[in-house]
Amino acid sequence: MTGTQATIEDFDRLDIRSGTVTRAEPYPEARKPSIKLWIDFGELGEKRSSAQIAHHYDPAALVGRQVLAVVNFPPRQIGKVVSEVLVLGLPDADGNVVLIRPDMAVPNGARMF
């Protein structure tokens, strides 16, 4: 089921940007295995996030990787971490998150359209 149809105006309200992970740390205190991320979004600056991606990713290997994230949601408290952006991913066959990322390098802060 895909849910209610969205309009182009709904899509335009989402601000999805590219960013590069500058720092990543395990977040063992989270309810589900997670990683704390610091992401450079260019002119928007560095933003923090907590992502449930520990199944497939090692924190050290994430540094330098580009990701896509929604940058205009309000900050959300995730345990002891304030998540400023929502990093985007898709579930694999077992429900573990696989990150969505550009297949070529793009500028940090580039907006998806």
CATH number at residue 85: 2.40.50.140
pLDDT value, residue 9: 95
Report yes or no on 44 lying in a domain.
Answer: yes
Q: How far apart are the C-alpha atoms of 27 and 30, rounded to whole Å?
A: 6
Decide which of 28 and 17 is more confident: 17
Mean pLDDT, to the nearest integer, of 30-42?
Answer: 94
Q: What's the pLDDT at 1? A: 52
Residue 60 lies in domain = 15-99
| Residue 20: pLDDT over 90 | yes
The C-alpha atoms of residue 1 and residue 93 are separated, in whole angstroms, by 17
Q: Domain for residue 79, yes or no?
A: yes
φ and ψ at residue 10, rounded to 5 degrees: -60, -45
CB 51 within 8 A of CB 19: no
Q: Domain for residue 107, yes or no? A: no
Q: Is the pLDDT of residue 32 over 90?
A: no
